[in-house]
Amino acid sequence: MLTDRSILRSTVCLFGVTVAAVLLAGCPGTLDDKERFLVDAGSAGHAGRSGGNTAGGAAAPAEAGSDAGAQPDNGPCGDVVARIFEPSCGGTGCHGATAPQQDLDLVSPGVAARVVGVPGIGCSATLADPADPEASLLYQKLSPTPPCGSPMPLARPALSDEDAACVLAWIAAQ
């Protein structure tokens, strides 16, 4: 026999299950930048790994990404500016838009225009030389023994071999 108490208990339980189902379903929202999502999804699992995934030490393909306004190629490197420069160089407070060290902003739009063919401050090398990317100061500063100054990122873990190869490929693609 059903009592008022058992009916109330059943109603509360049914209400709780309904609320839980609605909360778990959630709202999918919208995707404002589909290309960026695809780049981030394509590079998931790559950041922070060592050893790289390129054959014979060749650099992975890169693209200008957010830097030139071009559509990303969704290659293994993704958007190098957004994925590597912003968090590793600009996110540390060193090479961001506000008071960048050595006057080198690596996060604001137009990074390539600020580094390609531009001499480094305090070092006798070009920041980014697409004709000779391995001689570029941006790439050399990622090694444990750069030609001048300290290795980058300063006082933080070094980039993985894979991410360093992506920086090299980004320079070559400029």
Q: Quick check: 81 and 67 in contact, CB under 8 A?
A: yes
Q: Quick check: 132 and 165 in contact, CB under 8 A?
A: no
Tell me: the pLDDT tens digits for 55-82?
A: 333 333 333 344 444 434 547 899 999 9
What pLDDT score does 39 carry? 41
Domain ranges of the chain: 34-172
**pTM (whole model) above 0.75:** no
Tell me: the pLDDT tens digits for 20-32?
A: 444 444 434 444 4
Tell me: the pLDDT tens digits for 77-128?
A: 999 999 999 999 987 789 989 889 999 999 999 999 999 999 999 888 999 9
Count other C-beta atoms under 10 Å from residue 95's C-beta: 24
